[in-house]
Amino acid sequence: MEEVAAPSTTVEGRSVLHGRYELGRVLGEGTFAKVYLARNLRNGKNVAMKVVGKEK
């Protein structure tokens, strides 16, 4: 599993991480992170993306 700091941008109202993953709805959340449904913009596949809060 890859863990990296996630630079994000907003494109047409959508959150996009690393220019590659479009974040969708929240699938779950815990004390330190949220898990989002994300779509790989290169191949269209859905993945789960864990995003750790900045303050953690």
Q: List residues forming the annotated binding site.
A: 54
Binding residue positions for ATP: 54
Q: What is the DSSP string of the chain?
A: -------EEEETTEEEETTTEEEEEEEEE-SSEEEEEEEETTT--EEEEEEE-TT-
